[in-house]
A and B are shown apart, each in its own frame.
Chain A
Amino acid sequence: MTVETPLIGHSAAEVVDEHLSGVRVGVVTFPGTLDDRDALRAVRIAGGTGVPLWHGDHDLKEVDAVIIPGGFSYGDYLRAGAISRFAPLMEQITAAASGGSLPVLGICNGFQVLTEAHLLPGSMIKNNHLHFLCKDQRLTVENTMTAWTSSYEQGTEIVVPLKNQDGQFVADERTLDELEGEGRVVFRYAGGNPNGSRRDIAGITNEHGNVVGLMPHPEHAVEAGFGPDSSAFGEVEVRGGVDGLGIFTSVLQKLVNK
């Protein structure tokens, strides 16, 4: 195939920066977490150092940022994220994140944990079509001021996989207006709302911009050959989409330049 894999935004060229490898990004594993190894791989591909964290520990291992990855922690049996948010490590994360210093990214189940922990507003309910849905999803990046989105251009579209059963973002009207008014909607579904999320919201941030949660999975769009079949940046090889890499390079860049 002669189609070249396009490299997204500013992120790709900087992957080789050796300063980045000094940045330590923790990835939390709860019982039932599934995408922890994928998130660690994404950090590594972006050039950083991934640090596995265990939910039952009290030690953040001096990480510079934290990712709470996807999965079905505690089976999602009570409510998604409802049990995990009481994990010992979540106390440390909440304390460090709520002041605005520690960058925290919650992906899918991780986003649900962050809402249950009240680090982010709103909640996720069952998809409006009631099925688990796995697809390549187009998103608009609306806020590039957060710790996790600075390497994208505002308004850029990206394609990353979406895969969940409880992915419908809901919040009361006042909260939604507040999120919109303060520019805290970070990602919005483009090309159709896949699950009934209010105002097409796919991801949001807190008031400081250090905590971001989103339902789609950027860590599954970081490596050519194993990502989605398409990219918003042009034609790519089969499963060649790497539009999600910018999320991980954003936080590494931010921490290096701090």
Chain B
Amino acid sequence: MTTETTSKKFNIDTVEHAEQTPEQQLPWAELGLKENEYQRVVEILGRRPTAAELAMYSVMWSEHCSYKSSKVHLRQFGDKVTDAMKEHLLVGIGENAGVVDIGDGWAVTFKVESHNHPSFVEPYQGAATGVGGIVRDIISMGARPVAVMDPLRFGAIDHPDTARLVHGIVAGIGGYGNSLGLPNIGGEVVFDSVYQGNPLVNALAVGVLRHEDIRLANASGVGNRVVLFGARTGGDGIGGASVLASESFDDAKPSKRPAVQVGDPFAEKVLIECCLELFKNGIVEGIQDLGAAGISCATSELASNGEGGMHVELTDVLLRDPSLTPGEILMSESQERMMAVVTPENAGAFEAIMDKWSVEYSWLGEVTDTGRLIIEWDGEKIVDVDPRTVAHDGPVYERPYSRPEWLDGVQADSFAGDRPSGGEQLKSAVLELMSSPNMCSKDWITNQYDRFVQGNTALAMPDDAGVVRVDEETGLGIALSTDANGRYSYLNPYDGARLALAEAYRNVATTGAQPMAVTDCLNFGSPEDPEVMWQFAESVRGLADACQDLGVPVTGGNVSLYNQTGGVAIHPTPVVGVLGVFDDVARRTPSGWREDGQAIYLLGTTRNELDGSEWANLRGHLGGQPPVLDLQAEKTLAAILVNSSRDGMIDAAHDLSEGGLAAALSEAALRFGVGARIGIDELCERDGIDPFTALFSESQGRAVVAVPRSEEVRFNDMCTARNFPRLRIGVVDAENQALDVQGHFTLPLAELKEAHEATLPKHFA
């Protein structure tokens, strides 16, 4: 194994040099620090920082790494957690990812993260490295990654730039995830012109581990050795900070730095197997993946979470580009790298595993008890800091926020547009809805992802949630769903976030899993705009409140700000992922009908709620208030769905959300190509609505289920006992290949299927 060191010497800005040259001007503004932040660094150190220290503070105190604008709000996720909610939480917010106890000694770790901006610049590599980054977060908890999901948001489907982004991003996710052997089990695809210049590429990964295998990012045990392994360090991700290339402050020209990072899924797959072998053999004491802020982050996090000291020799880092300066090495975001802490006794075993997998590594230094993070360059001290000040004591801002003045007008503008009536109009409306960009079949995309690998996928797209078996002996498993509705959040950010959680929670329960924990990816515009900041604050408050009401804690996540082009921000888009647990995935409930003659029930109440709906969207309207949310009703509905699954009372279930009953019935029929005879007149009478509202309203707390005849009495008794509204609205009809909404229209499944499946190929194939 090569451990060559670069002997090239820069005119290095050492700590000693910094002490001697207090007047030296540093490019802190170019590195993104504000003047007060720079002054704070000087205050902490009692002198000017060295160039390398400046590099570390600037990346670690960036919005991306320090959450400086969002922190004051995100605290609610911790503050609003009750002891009962913590019951199953083994590791909470703050680590690489949260860890949840799912029973029998098994634990699950999961997290969703954004890779929005890089995916706009270079869609394939941006999306690919997004998958790579979130998977490394999961590995660094000690878990084997078992599945991924990708909530995606693009601009208008017919905009000329959308095809570029769709092709690149989908191929990038597939190219990386498929090569890692991770089934892709769900996600979302939304088209809306607000995302034209700011597509959202969020990536979720989930991993499983035994309780005893949990690994944390801390450097403990004085004398233990620090090792960097995986890919070599190149100039990736420091393009914007090329000012550091001249950090020796002579006139040397900045060398060329890549504008884009290229992912190497093969290197990551090998890294996964190699890490799992390290964990299995108990070789590592602490481990941290290298993502944003690279070695700066890994060393300062590891050191500050451990006994507080670390000593590192930076010339030992294996480089892909020998021209990198120390500051650049510290900032580099090269992919597929990990840092670990290993006892001296285990060093040999560590090296043997690296050699087996042909993974390069270099020993960089050791854990100390000095409380200082010391980094040397060829024996000369270039960093001497308290690691906590880098990793945890970044600036915190109470950004001003204010409710937008335009909001009252928007909320007063309720949908008053076209409401089809009569059989022919309703039938055309269903076809229009189901072929629309947001409601059409996403098969063209999801068929580019491997959903079979690992052999544990029990449900995947287009079912309500992805379901994966964890324990092959018992069938213990998990369900995952991610949801968000940017239009709802635009109309009312507090309710929008609650609605996103409610939908993900409902989706998980619809498959029969008990919802347990939450991860979130909060995508917003610029925090420096008080109106955006208000949307953010309201969203966090809403999500934290709803988590408390539903009894599911946020375990981790990510904030993505500055998603705006010019003065135009995206809709506030809090993507919420909910994890649920099954004692046996064999009882998972699919979304489609199968068996002729089973009774179809609609659970919940339908109101006239078209504001923010897909139908209003198709008519170009966005105004009013999103649907009313009753979280107690959601809890009861979830309990009914989970118990029905457990007791074998239902054979199919599909939640009602975007597109309402029309979408749910269409999807349940198309899932296996089995139709139904549906009657909506009794529903209209009971809820005081017209047929259009019955089909297109997006009232919450609803689901359609298929109940075998033999279970109808038991099922009804259970709904009665829980005082939950339900109505028998039809029967599964395996004979006539149609969705027959009796007295209104009959829609042949072939026609529906063709309309549903043609949209994406028409635009992208």
Contacts and interface: CB of A to CB of B under 8 A. Distances in A.
B452 A134 contact: yes
Interface size class of A (residues with CB under 8 A): 35 or more
Contacts of A74: 266
A31 B449 contact: no
Interface in B427-480: 446-459, 469, 472
A225 B459 CA distance: 9
User: Most B CB atoms within 10 A — which of A56, A219, A226?
Assistant: A226
Given A132-B175, A134-B450, A238-B590, A32 B455 contact: no
B384 interface: no
A163 B171 CA distance: 14
Contacts of A226: 455-458, 469
Interface in B174-223: 174-175, 178-181
A79 to B, nearest CB: 14
A254 interface: no
A44 to B, nearest CB: 10
A37 B454 contact: yes
A220 B455 contact: yes
Contact of B455 (A38, A132, A235): A38
A41 B454 CA distance: 10
A3 B651 CA distance: 11
Given A1-B651, A72-B266, A226-B458, A135 B594 contact: no
A133 B447 contact: yes
A234 interface: no
A71 B594 contact: no
A132 B178 contact: yes
Interface string B256-272: 00000000111101100
A220 B592 CA distance: 22
A226 B175 CA distance: 23
Contacts of B181: 34-35, 71
Interface string A109-138: 000000000000000000001011111000
B585 interface: yes
Nearest to B357: A31
Given A34-B269, A72-B269, A132-B175, A217 B651 contact: no
Contact of A134 (B356, B447, B454): B447
A75 B457 contact: no
B712 interface: no
B184 to A, nearest CB: 9
Given A32-B269, A72-B179, A72-B266, A217 B452 contact: yes
B453 A38 contact: yes
A172 to B, nearest CB: 30
Contact of B595 (A1, A72, A77, A219): A1
A31 B266 contact: yes
A229 B595 contact: no
A133 B457 CA distance: 17
Contacts of A56: 356
Given A161-B452, A223-B455, A32 B595 contact: no
A163 B454 CA distance: 13
B454 A75 contact: no
Contact of B453 (A35, A133, A225, A238): A35
A2 interface: yes
Contact of A1 (B446, B447, B455, B594): B594
B358 interface: yes
Contacts of B179: 32, 34, 72, 75-76
A74 to B, nearest CB: 6
A238 B585 CA distance: 12
Given A75-B264, A131-B448, A38 B269 contact: no
Nearest to A135: B447
Contact of A132 (B264, B273, B448, B472): B448
Nearest to A129: B765
Contacts of A134: 446-452
Interface string A33-66: 0110110010000000000000010000000000
A208 interface: no
A19 interface: no
Contacts of A35: 181, 453
B586 interface: yes
Nearest to B273: A31
A2 B586 contact: no
A220 B269 contact: no
Interface in A200-233: 217, 219-220, 223, 225-226, 229
Contacts of A163: 178, 450, 452-453
Nearest to A73: B266
Given A75-B179, A226-B456, A2 B449 contact: no
Given A1-B594, A1-B651, A239-B458, A75 B448 contact: no
Given A163-B450, A226-B469, A229-B672, A219 B455 contact: yes
A131 B444 CA distance: 10
A143 B179 CA distance: 31
B644 to A, nearest CB: 13
A225 B455 contact: no
B621 to A, nearest CB: 36
B542 to A, nearest CB: 35
Given A226-B458, A226-B469, A75 B266 contact: yes
Nearest to A71: B181
Nearest to A38: B455
B266 A32 contact: yes
Contacts of A165: 178
A238 B595 CA distance: 12
Interface string B685-717: 000000000000000000000001000000000
Interface string A2-37: 110000000000000000000000000001101101
CB-CB nearest 10 A-B residue pairs: A75-B266, A34-B181, A220-B452, A38-B455, A238-B590, A72-B179, A161-B452, A132-B448, A132-B174, A163-B450
Interface of A: 1-3, 31-32, 34-35, 37-38, 41, 56, 71-72, 74-77, 129, 131-135, 161, 163, 165, 217, 219-220, 223, 225-226, 229, 235, 238-239
Given A1-B594, A2-B708, A225-B586, 7 more contacts: A32-B270, A132-B175, A132-B450, A134-B447, A163-B453, A219-B455, A226-B457
12 contacts: A31-B266, A31-B358, A34-B453, A37-B454, A37-B455, A75-B266, A132-B178, A132-B450, A134-B448, A223-B455, A226-B455, A238-B459
